[in-house]
Chains A and B, each alone.
Chain A
Amino acid sequence: AQSVAQPEDQVNVAEGNPLTVKCTYSVSGNPYLFWYVQYPNRGLQFLLKYITGDNLVKGSYGFEAEFNKSQTSFHLKKPSALVSDSALYFCAVRENQAGTALIFGKGTTLSVSS
């Protein structure tokens, strides 16, 4: 069965410092991996996805994520955090099968202090 783990409920970083939000996954076959961000009382916004190819994926708002097959991880990163990055971040996985839904992690709250 597919699953996603986000081991940290909350990540705190100072503005200007690099940030990492961790995600590990379990899926049979090749995974399709996604990161979404949710601001308070809003829907989820797509940040980036890994389908195939280069392990480093670049996305919206300066975020990137690195796919590591041996560690089954897909950590979200940003070189320099902004206060406006403070939000709830979700990692999600999908199997290579049409119609299957996204399986989400529980989410990690990112708090960036000024």
Chain B
Amino acid sequence: NAGVMQNPRHLVRRRGQEARLRCSPMKGHSHVYWYRQLPEEGLKFMVYLQKENIIDESGMPKERFSAEFPKEGPSILRIQQVVRGDSAAYFCASSPLGLPTDEQFFGPGTRLTVL
């Protein structure tokens, strides 16, 4: 059973470009969470999605960031007009039922560097 897949693993963008990060949850998992890890900091929650629905986006910046989890295909975190402060590791996690007792299974992350 493959784990959570994220691609690309490394992404370099220039200021003003768009970044698209993809996440395929574990087989059978329909709940996806995105986190951002800035240098020297812990993970910060960004958004929680279920298939075709955004459940909680309270951690998402109001501008330039969006997320989706379509019926078919991976979840996408999209960052428009990237700035240097967006440089971070972005982790996706999935869980089977979205219960508060579920552990979340994390992908290897996408390391975004904005030049």
Binding site for B on A (CB under 8 A): 32, 34, 36, 41-46, 49, 51, 90, 94-107
Cross-chain pair count, CB within 8 angstroms: 61
Q: In the complex, which residues of chain A have a beta carbon less than 8 angstroms from the beta carbon of B109?
A: 42-43
Closest chain-A Cβ to B28's Cβ sits at a distance in Å of 17
A41 to B56, CA, bound (A): 27
Residue B59 is within 8 A (CB to CB) of chain A in the complex: yes
Residue B65 is within 8 A (CB to CB) of chain A in the complex: no
Question: How many residues on B have C-beta within 8 angstroms of the other chain's C-beta atoms?
Answer: 27
Would you list the 9 A-B pairs with minimal beta carbon distance, nearest first?
A43-B106, A101-B45, A104-B42, A44-B106, A106-B42, A46-B103, A104-B43, A43-B108, A51-B101
Q: In the complex, which residues of chain A have a beta carbon less than 8 angstroms from the beta carbon of B43?
A: 44, 90, 102, 104
A26 to B98, CA, bound (A): 22
A106 to B44, CA, bound (A): 9
Interface string of B65-104 (1 = CB under 8 A from A): 0000000000000000000000000010100001111011
A38 to B80, CA, bound (A): 29
For window 4-38 of B, CB contacts with A under 8 Å fall at 4, 6, 33, 35
Q: A32-B100, A96-B100 are in contact. Are A101 and B56 (CB under 8 A)?
A: yes
Point out which of B4, B59, B106, B107 has the most chain A C-beta atoms below 10 A from its C-beta.
B106
Please, could you name 27 A-B residue pairs with CB atoms under 8 Å apart, sorted by A? A32-B101, A36-B106, A41-B108, A42-B108, A43-B6, A43-B106, A43-B108, A43-B109, A44-B91, A44-B93, A44-B106, A45-B106, A46-B105, A49-B103, A90-B43, A94-B100, A96-B100, A98-B99, A98-B100, A99-B48, A99-B100, A100-B56, A100-B100, A101-B45, A101-B48, A103-B45, A107-B42
Q: In the complex, which residues of chain A have a beta carbon less than 8 angstroms from the beta carbon of B41?
A: 106
